Structures are given as structure tokens and as C-alpha cells.
Amino acid sequence: MIARVYSASHLGIEALPVEVEVDLTPGTFYYVTVGLPDTAVKESQNRILSALKNSGFEAPIKKITVNLAPADIIKEGSSFDLPIAVAILAAQGIIPKEKLKNLFFMGELALDGRIKPVKGVLSVSVMVRKMKGKTLVTPLANGGEAAVVEGVTAIPVANLTEVVEWLNSEKEIAPASAEKLPTAETFPDELDFIDVKGQPHVRRAIEVAAAGGHNMLMVGPPGSGKSMIARRLPTIMPEWTLEEAIESSRVHSIAGLLPSDSPLLPRRPFRSPHHTVSDAGLVGGGHSPILPGEVSLSHYGVLFLDELPEFRRSALEVLRQPLEDGKVVISRASMSVTFPSNFMLVCAMNPCPCGYETDPIRECKCTPHQINRYRQKISGPMLDRMDIHVEVPAVKYQELKSDSGSETSAAIRERITKTHKTQNIRFAKSSIFRNAEMGAKQIKKHCEIGGSSEKLLKSAMERLGLSARAYTRTLKVARTIADLAGCEKIKTEHTAEAVQYRAIN
């Protein structure tokens, strides 16, 4: 008596179909799982047998062989409990086998037969969509997550008894309805740029950064508002598309970091790892399962490295590849996994170890040697990779009191959204989206500058000792500034502003 049920496993954020095959043969009781199960799958045996018994189904006193195919992909986690239990019931003839052909199952079983939520439902739902005409049976709590993917029918189930009744057409279960995609207007913690007083130069710099997808470094004394400003960056980025929301949420789903009441991240992620974070924590790692790191958890959002010089040098080195490629490849002997990592990097630091070197009122107690050593902790190549460097001065008391110049996040976001549209048209035929991602060929095509801009750039390079990499970055920032001004041509004033953002070297 053989029965087959479909489920899925994960490789990175991708889900792959897995066939669960159960064979019952007469004889004394014996239970074996084959097909590379990890420990969680082995443990599932006890849960499955208890859940069957406690739901009123006699566990078959027979030799039970569970085969998970294909054998060469690693199956992780407890989400195979439900498909295995369903296959055992089908092999016993308790549910009709022909009903199972177009269904995918995932769910962890509690000993009493309840079905508990599992990780990674969103990815499986995306996979099910590709297969067309299939239905996904998910734990009740994951129903909304599965149904987010348009075109997928998700049947939310609470316990094993209900699943059996549904498969025997004794009970109807309404498909889950998709959770509505929250919009950028809904920042529940009410972060808004209107709270940031004064600092016109910094507010402008962050607008340019968000407009072109440029990385940014802020340098300023304690309390000057660096963290406050960084935290508000996601509120001025354009509303994300459903596809972006799904892709970023899949990464969080794999890491088990999606809030249980929301299948999609409510907004673009903002990640701020502590400087003691390990390299694996930053870029991803581990064995079984391989988990995404901070660079992937901030996909389509912001990665904020506060107190940049406190990070270990190796941490900054491992960031380089994901920064350049927009993805991370983690290789193990048995497999290699790719996670997306398209994020905006924002870094903050004090100008010196005590923090007050640039503060007009408080006195800096550091020696020139200490200051030098502190700054040298950030390697030249890392500084080079920051498109925009901005000095954040201490805020003056009068400025904190006045509302002049403050704008809401919504007003700033409107301008940025407009420049993103310009860039979408510009890059429609290429694989990139933002000015910051332009390569040499695209820079040549889109960043042409006139004679006076050229002269200005040349003298700035000499004066500031800029590298060739810094030069191309300045051109890209100038392109974004021109976009914000609605100009097709980069003018001298745009280049001049871009040069200002390279002051720290």
C-alpha cells in the first residue's frame, strides 16, 4: 500500500517540490524515514504517530517506510509532519488518494493533532504559483502568508481531523484571503522626517542618497541626530511593489523573522546589527539550515552600521561582495545557496574616539594620534565605496525649537518616487534599477559632463586626493542630483554638489 503526497523543501529562499512517499507493509511495527532527512524530520516520527492516535486514527501496526524524494536535497524542519501523516492515512485508505494529486501540504503537528505554523510558507507559495492549478494546504496561521501570492489557493487548516474531513468532502474550508499589502503611509511607530529639525545639509544628502540608491556615511558628534535620521530613511523610500515585498519577506520567512500576524513585512526593512555581529551574522551562514545574514534581511531596505569603526575589519571586508553583487552566495560541500542582498548601506561614526572633535562647544580630549588610528579603522576601499559622505554638525538649540525647513516624510518621498520613475525608464532595457548601480558603460552613456564640470572634478580630485573609484562615484551622485532637479544634462551646479559629498577621505 503506497501513497504519495507533495510538499516542499527550501534551498536559500527558493522552494523545491518534494514527494513524500509512504509504503505500509504487513509485519511488526517498524518506522523508517529515507531520503536525507535532518534530525527534525526524524523526530517527527513521534509527533506524527501521537497526532494520528490522538486524532482518533489507529496508527498502523506495520512496517512504515517514509521516502522523501529527491534524495539529494536536504530536507529541513518540521513542515513534513502533515504531508507524512496524510500519506500514512492515504496508504491506509482513510483518505482518497486521487484527491492528493494537485495538493501541496506543509505543517508541523502537535501531539494532539493540532497543526502548528511553519517557516518559509511564502517561498513555497511562490513555487506553487509557478506550477499552475495547484492548491497549498497550510497551517491556519500561515494561510494569509500563502494567499499573498496571486493565483494561489491556500487552504488553512487547524488540525488533522479537519484535514481528513476536508479531503473526504465532509467539511468545507474557505480558502485563506490574502493579507492586504500595507502601504508606506503606515509606519505604526510614527517615524517621520518632520521630527528632524535643522540640519538642512544632512537632510538634502539623505534625499540624494535615497533617490539614487547611494550608500552614505554620516560623521558627527554624539547626539547630533545620526541614528535618528538613519532610522527615518525607510519612510522616504518609495512604496515597494508587491514583488519586492514578497522577495524581502521570503528572506525573513526563512529566518523565522516574520511577525506571526503578518505574512508580509509591513514596510521596507531597517536593520541595525550591533558591532559585535559575526561575519556569518552579517552575510549569512550556518549549516543546516543555511540562514540569511543582515545583508539579506535588509534586502530592499536599509542596513545601518552605527559606530562604524567599532566593527571588526573582517566584517567590513565581507560586506564588499554583497554590496557589489546585490546577492550572497554561501557554499557548502553539499550545496550552495544564494540569498538576495540589494540594500542601501548607511553608516555612522563619531569624528574621533571621544566624539567631540567637530563639536563647537564641547572639548575634544583625543590626541591627533588617537584620532588618526580611529579613522584608519575604516579601510580606504570601504570609504571609497560610500558614495556620499556627510558631516553632521551638533544641532543648535534654536534649530531644535524651530520648524523652519522641516518636511514630512511623505513630501520627501514624493520627490524621490519621481526620480525612481526617471531611473526606471533610463534602465528599462538593462538589469539595474538605480544610478548607484551603473557600470563603466552606463556611466559613459548617462553621465556626460561639460567642460566646466570636468575642470571642477579634476581639481577636486587633485585637492582631495580622490581615487578613480571615487571619481566614478561622484559622477553617479551628480547624475542623481540632476535627476532630482528634473534635468536631463548634468550641470556644473550638480557636479559641484556631488563633489561636496566626498569631503571625508
Ligand X SMILES: Nc1ncnc2c1ncn2[C@@H]1O[C@H](COP(=O)(O)OP(=O)(O)OP(=O)(O)O)[C@@H](O)[C@H]1O
> Rule CB under 6 A: is residue 250 a binding residue for ligand X?
no
Considering CB under 5 A, how many residues would be counted as binding Zn ion?
5
C-alpha cell at 42: 526524524
Stretch that binds Mg ion, among 101-109, 179-187, 226-234, 371-379 (CB under 5 A): 226-234
CA torsion, ordered 144, 147, 149, 150, to nearest 10 deg? -140
C-alpha cell at 318: 565581507
- Which listed residue (220, 266, 269, 289) binds ligand X by CB under 6 A? 220
* Alpha carbon distances (Å) from 263 to 121, 243, 250: 9, 13, 9
Site for Zn ion in 363-422 (CB under 5 A): 364, 366
Q: Choose from Zn ion, Mg ion, ligand X, none: what does 354 bind? Cβ within 5-8 Å by kind.
A: Zn ion
* Alpha carbon distances (Å) from 177 to 83, 141, 150, 173, 246: 22, 12, 10, 12, 16
Binding string, residues 271-310; x marks residues near ligand X by CB under 6 A: ----------------------------------------
CB of 223 to ligand X, least distance (A): 5
- Which listed residue (3, 95, 163, 395) binds ligand X by CB under 6 A? 395
> Rule CB under 5 A: is residue 357 a binding residue for Zn ion?
yes
> Rule CB under 6 A: is residue 199 a binding residue for ligand X?
yes
In the DSSP assignment, the letter for residue 178 is P
- Which listed residue (93, 96, 200, 223) binds ligand X by CB under 6 A? 223
Measured from the CB atom, is 227 or 358 closer to Mg ion? 227
Considering CB under 5 A, how many residues would be counted as binding Mg ion?
1
> Rule CB under 5 A: is residue 359 a binding residue for Zn ion?
no
CA torsion, ordered 110, 113, 118, 121, to nearest 10 deg? 180
Measure the CA–CA gap between 51 and 86, rounded to whole angstroms.
Answer: 11
> Rule CB under 5 A: is residue 272 a binding residue for Mg ion?
no
Residues 270, 298: contact at Cβ < 8 Å? Answer: yes
* CA angle 22–160–121, rounded 5-degree value: 80
| H helix runs in 55-80, sequence order | none
- Which listed residue (34, 61, 335, 400) binds ligand X by CB under 6 A? 400
- Which listed residue (218, 255, 337, 352) binds Zn ion by CB under 5 A? 352
Q: Name the one residue in this structure whose C-alpha cell is 572634478.
A: 457
Residues 306, 195: contact at Cβ < 8 Å? Answer: no
Give residue 229's identity as a one-letter amino acid code.
I
Nearest residue to ligand X on Cβ basis: 225
- Which listed residue (138, 142, 224, 342) binds ligand X by CB under 6 A? 224
The helix (H) or strand (E) run that includes residue 444 is helix 440-446
Q: Which residues bind ligand X (CB under 6 A)?
A: 195-199, 220, 222-228, 350, 395, 400
Q: Which residues bind Zn ion (CB under 5 A)?
A: 352, 354, 357, 364, 366
